[in-house]
Structure 1
């Protein structure tokens, strides 16, 4: 069991050496894109929810 854990940790360490981490500028750019599209999605879902709730309200009352 201990040998399996050691082998796993060794393979994790080996794979982590292959990882290329983004620069700070790339990270800032990606963060801005994610925030921008999250806001667009929130606005879209709000509009769709509002329209659907008004439609259901009009049909039922």
Structure 2
């Protein structure tokens, strides 16, 4: 996989911060309060524009590896 640097598509800034969160998906998960959907967020430090990625593999941190270059 090719690595590339993060560039905000809205303002062109190159600095970002990342985080992750979990959410429920489907009726079964809601009934038992199971957070079975994992997401990674990448937010521009300048304008706050945020991209959301579905986590996969090792908790989705492969997205960060892709962006960090």
Bin the TM-score by the shorter chain: under 0.3
Higher relative contact order (CA 8 A, sep 6+): 2
Greater helix fraction, Structure 1 or Structure 2? 1
TM-score under structure 2 normalisation? 0.21
Give the alignment's TM-score, normalised by structure 1.
Answer: 0.23
